[in-house]
Each structure stands twice: as C-alpha cells, then as structure tokens.
Structure 1
Amino acid sequence: MTSFQHRKVVGDAHEERVAEELVLRGWDVSAWGQGVLTEAVRSALRGTDSSLRWTPDLVAAKGSEIFLLDCKSRMTSRATHRHAVERAAVMAHLQLAAWTQLPVCYVFDNLDILTPHDVLVSGRPGPHSVRGSGSAYYLVPTARSLAFDEVFGAGQQGTGQLDAA
C-alpha cells in the first residue's frame, strides 16, 4: 500500500468516526467534498490551486444549524501538543465560510475542534512538511481547541441519520 493509500484509509476511518459521533448527538450527516468525487476528478484537482482541493469532508445539520466539517487525521503532535492545519486549507475555508455563510470547523483525531479563524488567530506558521505534499502549516496549541461535546452536544442514542452519499 502506498503512503497516499494508507493516509486515505486512515482519513476515511476518521471521517466515519466523526460522522458516527455526530449521529449519536442527533445530527444528520452527509459526505461532501472530494470524497464524493471520482478518482480522476480528485487527481485533476490535486494538480490545481483551486480552493475546491480543500472542500470539507462532511456536512452536518441539526434543526436549522449546519456545519461544514474537515476531518484532520494524524495532524496532532503528541510531543508538542499542537494541531497542524495546512495554510492553503485555512485560506480556502475562510473564503468558503464567507461565501456560504456557514461555519467550517476542523475535527482532529481526539475530536478537538478548531475553526479556520481560530487557526489564523491562534496558530503560528510552522515549517514546510517534509512528508506528504511539503505544504506550509499553521501550528495551534491543543489547549486552544473546543471540545466536540461543547460544539455538537453530548453523546446519546442517535436520532440523526448518516447519509452515505
């Protein structure tokens, strides 16, 4: 399995977990973003600077509330207690939030929550990654994060629905 394929498997599992946690809290969840595109389209997008490259993974609704969620797997350092978010993603998500007038948030492996604004305000530029795309990142102390339950409510038996796009 290639490095990309392994990251995709890990990322898909994290998206599924986030969706399940939301459903347990009564949210309806649909896959969104590149996960609903064909491999050929995803591959073509990777070769562009389009903001569509950073379309969030999930959309969740509960009543009149809607969130766009970008699931970030393996983006938290246990050694430094910082979350990493690609700078280009933050810029794209700030634009998306302004355009759609919907909140965008990042959900990390431990279910910590940050918004693009949180990252921009609290983050510090980190070095370019030596793995993966080599992209520049913002690093944000985990202490700046919100708890999943604080944003989406406490877990309980789900009344929500998981929509397998």
Structure 2
Amino acid sequence: MGEPVRLALRSTDSFLRWTPDLIAARDRQVVMIDCKSRMTSRTSSRHAIENAAVTAHLQLVAWTRLPLYYAFDNLDLLTPGDALGTGIHGPRTTAGSGAPYLLVPSDRALAFDQVFGPPRRTSLPRVA
C-alpha cells in the first residue's frame, strides 16, 4: 500500500488503516507482521499497542486464518490475543495520537527465535 493511501486511511475509522507491515513466509509457514518501533517503555518495560489495532488485527486473523505478530524494536513478539489477554488499558494521554492503548509487560512477549526458529546458516561461495 502506498504512502498516499496510508495517509488517507489515517483519517478514517476503516480497519484497513491497520494493515500489517509485512507478510512473510518461511517454507510453508506464512505470517503477518506489524512492526512497532519505539512502542516499548524503557522505564516500565511494557509494550504499547493501540486498542483499535488489536481489534482490527483480531478480525484480520479470523478472516485470513493466518497468525499475526507485533514485532518490537528488540524483536519481542506478541499476538493480538496476547495483547488483549495480558494487556491493561493505558492512561489517556495527549502525547502521540492520544488514542486508547494497551500496555503489555515485556516479559509476556515471545522471543523471535522461539517463534520462528534460529536463523538458518547459508553457505557462501568460496572466494578464490
């Protein structure tokens, strides 16, 4: 989706504005990934996810029958179900968009390698 469309969708209440950033595949495993940069508090060690995103993503997972993961800067992963089940409603703030959000303790997150396995080693061609 192009940037002009993303910008236009931000002014709507359409769930399309929450389209995941990536669709990835490894072998026959297909997943959706929504990147969450700068969404982890250094002081409280909690990940923040907007309530509207969680609602949209739960419906997207049900519709597509594909898993969706929130990927944070440190490669912690959470699912929309994790966010809904273990998150608490954050305080209303005027910082950022001011939208309601969930706070999820980072110790509830899964490690990237735990979900996707360790990186595969590839053989590089020998240099003469």
Counterpart of 2:23 in structure 1 is 59
Counterpart of 1:46 in structure 2 is 10
How far the C-alpha of 1:95 sits from its partner, in A, is 0.3
Counterpart of 2:126 in structure 1 is none
SS of 2:114's equivalent in the other structure is helix
Cα deviation, 1:25-79, whole Å, max 9, x if unaligned, reads xxxxxxxxxxx3142x222211100001111000001121110000000000111
8 A Cα contact 1:104 1:115, kept in partner: yes
How far the C-alpha of 1:158 sits from its partner, in A, is 5.7
- What does 1:102-141 correspond to in 2, within 5 Å? 102-141=66-105
Q: Give the letter aligned to residue 57 of structure 1.
A: D
1:37 aligns with 2:6: no
- TM-score, with structure 2 as normaliser: 0.91
SS of 2:98's equivalent in the other structure is coil
- What does 1:1-165 correspond to in 2, within 5 Å? 36-39=1-4, 41-157=5-121
Identical-pair percentage: 59
Q: Select the structure of larger CA radius of gyration.
A: 2
Runs of 4 or more consecutive aligned structure 1 residues displaced over 6 Å after TM superposition: none
- Take 1:121 and 1:109, find their aligned partners in 2: how far apart are those partners? 22
- Take 1:77 and 1:148, find their aligned partners in 2: how far apart are those partners? 19
- Take 2:73 and 2:7, find their aligned partners in 1: how far apart are those partners? 25
- TM-score, with structure 1 as normaliser: 0.71
* Gapped regions of structure 2 (runs ≥ 5): 124-128
How far the C-alpha of 1:83 sits from its partner, in A, is 0.4
Of 53-62 and 129-138, the range deviating more from structure 2: 129-138
Q: Give the letter aligned to residue 55 of structure 1.
A: T
- Take 1:105 and 1:38, find their aligned partners in 2: how far apart are those partners? 22
8 A Cα contact 1:129 1:137, kept in partner: no
Give the count of matched residue pairs: 123
